[in-house]
A and B are shown apart, each in its own frame.
Chain A
Amino acid sequence: MTNAQGAATPMDEPLLLLHAYLDGELDPVNSLAIAQQIAADPALGAEVEHIQALRHVVHEKFPREPLPPHLRARIETAIGRRGPQVHPSWRALAASGVFAMALASGSTWVALRPVSGDRIAEAVVDSHVRALMAPQPTDVTSSERHTVKPWFNGRIPQSPQVVDLTKEGFPLVGGRVDVIETCPVPTLVYGRRLHLISLSAVLSASTPHGLSVRRSIRGYNVVDWSEDGVDYWAASDLGAGELETFARLFRSALSGR
């Protein structure tokens, strides 16, 4: 090794301590001493400004980035996926006493809804990941909603509502058909910077409900809501906040037409 990190010369000392001071790593006595030196020495004061400007700009320009989804998928594959026992299957649940009690107590809906919701959320994330690993995340690629919507006609029974959110920073990328719980469903793909959002529209008879956020299903966030007989499921590696913003914009664009 080199001897670059050998003993600091006396001249280095205050400069080194300055960094430790700004990083909150100095004990109170040394902190006090350094603070006094900074106050007394304009050169040290200038250094403080530089260091703080540097830390600030680095923090701003290199925020924490989520892992690229294809890498997460690669790791999952490399070390082997978990067995299916992680999420209790319907049948196992139905056989369990808890389930029977829930039925008996009349809170059936409460007991069922989260389970089936979680399963759909899982399926939506699966479809999203699979799409990211495919050569293209879409079967039809177009930023034009008048191209994407008709594409679904004839492929699946229901063609989804497609809205244009380009101005809001979520350009339409295209669409595809996913299979969720054995049903083919239309999925729209929107972009946000380099991230993609998969939005699946599932016909359902469930009670309309507002946005509900599920964080971090294998690293992806999922937001769902229900209106007009359709359950919407949005999955993305975007932060939960941004994904919620997307969902809100999508809803208001739908209701505004």
Chain B
Amino acid sequence: MSGEDERARFDRVVLPHLDDAFALARWLAGNQPDAEDIFQEACLRAFRGIGSFSGGSARAWLLTIVRRTAYSWLKKNRLRAQVAINDLSLGERALVEGGGDQDALNRATPETELIAKADAARLEAAIAALPLEFREAFVLRDIQGLEYREIAQVTAMPLGTVMSRLARARHRLIDTIGTEQR
């Protein structure tokens, strides 16, 4: 035996995480056909680059590739309009959108109920409407269950940025699905 061949390494490192890889592609692309292209491209990149995997979290390694592939794919195929981030801080947001943050925060019970009862379509639309940077932090944490430092690795961002994006993403979602029920 001359060590593990590339295909065996791919099977061991990548195959167990294909579900997560596709889910991330799906959330980043926002639709199935684009996600399938991104996913396939990312898997090929992972296969070609399997030699560069040097241990650690295989999942984070693969998701990093998926994310990079998705970004270059989106840049090539779409306008980057959706990527712009709303610059308001959390406090400002509460003031602007809630008419004073104490008021916004005190509507606890009905808001919590609305959130708890949100249906999948509404949630999905709200997540899809998040700016890409917020959306990926949210998906990686709350759907895929990565730890902060893994998200920092995947997104190549400092921990503080991960924290702030995740918090902002959640607050936007809470605002969206916690208030505008028709």
Residue A96 at the B interface, CB < 8 A? no
Kindly report which residue of chain B lies nearest to residue A80, judged by CB atoms.
B7
Q: Which parts of A21-62 form the interface with B (CB within 8 Å)?
A: 23, 25, 42-47, 49-51, 53-59, 61-62
- What's the interface size class on A, roughly? 35 or more
Q: Which parts of A5-26 form the interface with B (CB within 8 Å)?
A: 5, 8-9, 11-12, 15-16, 18-20, 23, 25
**Which chain A residues lie closer than 8 Å to B164 at the CB level?**
5, 8, 12, 16
User: Would A64 and B23 be within 8 Å (CB), given that A5-B165, A20-B148, A50-B108 are in contact?
Assistant: yes
Kindly report which residue of chain A lies nearest to residue B47, judged by CB atoms.
A79
Q: Are B10 and A79 in contact (CB under 8 A)?
A: yes
Q: Are B105 and A47 in contact (CB under 8 A)?
A: yes
Q: Are A23 and B120 in contact (CB under 8 A)?
A: no
User: Would A53 and B19 be within 8 Å (CB), given that A12-B90, A43-B102, A58-B143 are in contact?
Assistant: no
Complex formed: what's the CA distance from A77 to B74 in Å? 25
User: Would A67 and B18 be within 8 Å (CB), given that A54-B173, A82-B7 are in contact?
Assistant: yes
Q: Which parts of B129-182 form the interface with A (CB within 8 Å)?
A: 133, 141-143, 147-148, 157, 160-161, 163-167, 170-171, 173-174, 177-178
**Which chain A residues lie closer than 8 Å to B157 at the CB level?**
5
Kindly report which residue of chain A lies nearest to residue B139, judged by CB atoms.
A62
Q: What is the total number of residues of chain B having a CB less than 8 Å from a CB of chain A?
A: 59
Chain A binding surface SS class:
helix
Q: Are B116 and A56 in contact (CB under 8 A)?
A: yes
**Which chain A residues lie closer than 8 Å to B112 at the CB level?**
46, 49-50, 53
Kindly report which residue of chain B lies nearest to residue A59, judged by CB atoms.
B142
**Which chain B residues lie closer than 8 Å to A72 at the CB level?**
18
**Which chain B residues lie closer than 8 Å to A53 at the CB level?**
112, 115-116
Interface CB pairs A-B, < 8 A, 19: A2-B87, A3-B87, A4-B87, A5-B164, A12-B167, A25-B148, A42-B106, A45-B108, A50-B112, A50-B115, A50-B178, A51-B174, A57-B115, A58-B123, A67-B18, A68-B22, A71-B39, A71-B40, A79-B10
